[in-house]
Amino acid sequence: MEFIDPALLAYCEAHTSGEDALLKKITRETQAKVLMPRMISGHLQGKMLEFFAKMMDAESILEIGTYTGYSGICLARGLKPGGKLTTLDINDELETMVRGFFEESGLANQIDYRLGNAREIIPTLDGPFDIVFIDADKFYYIDYFELVIDKVRPGGIILADNVLWSGKILLEEGQKIDKDTRKILDFNRLVQEDPRVENILLPIRDGVLMARKL
């Protein structure tokens, strides 16, 4: 996932508004207690998500993939007064930790945290959403996109994380493609060719694809 020189990344983070005590705590506890802590959004991406929510004057946000709550708190902090974040995750083992972080953030009343299969929950949700952030099982990115596109308002955005997939999307001739990489390649191509959106792929962290609904 490292696409930028560590010294340059440190410089970028040093010139980005800092993490508060809660976000630092979430990072520490994720690293200490949770498998694959690299999945956390982290400082730079978290602030980017908060900025997007603020710039969109977002009233309703959907997050697919809560993990330990870092990105959800950043998104919720960008909501307009009275706005709501709906965040979905399938891992109930993290529920107590995540709900604790949401309570500590002071934003629990604006966060609808649901556990279960996102592909089953999304059809039950009412839109429109200003922002959808996809950061869950990469194998189902196309499914998530198709399920949410009609629930996003015109001018709203869909953000998808990990679309550079640690560089695996740059294939060499004869290279074997694993299933997840193939799904990411198919997703990136689908969004690029979809007439319903305009899009930009940002080389931030492990790649963030932003699609704006026309």
Query: What would the pLDDT profile of 57-75 be if each residue is shown by its tens digit?
Result: 999 999 999 999 999 999 9
Query: What would the pLDDT profile of 96-112 be if each residue is shown by its tens digit?
Result: 999 999 999 999 999 99
Residue showing tokens 């506890």: 29
Element (H, E) at 128: none
- For the segment(s) 6-213, the CATH number from 3.40.50.2300, 3.30.300.30, 3.30.1490.20, 3.40.50.150 is 3.40.50.150
Residue 55, SS3? helix
For residue 1, pLDDT over 60 is answered with no
Q: What is the pLDDT, as a whole number, of residue 159?
A: 98
What does each C-alpha distance from 134 to 10, 26, 53, 141, 211 come to in angstroms? 26, 20, 14, 7, 11
Across 142-158, average pLDDT = 98
Mean predicted lDDT score pLDDT of the chain: 95
End-to-end CA distance of the chain: 31
For residue 2, pLDDT over 80 is answered with no
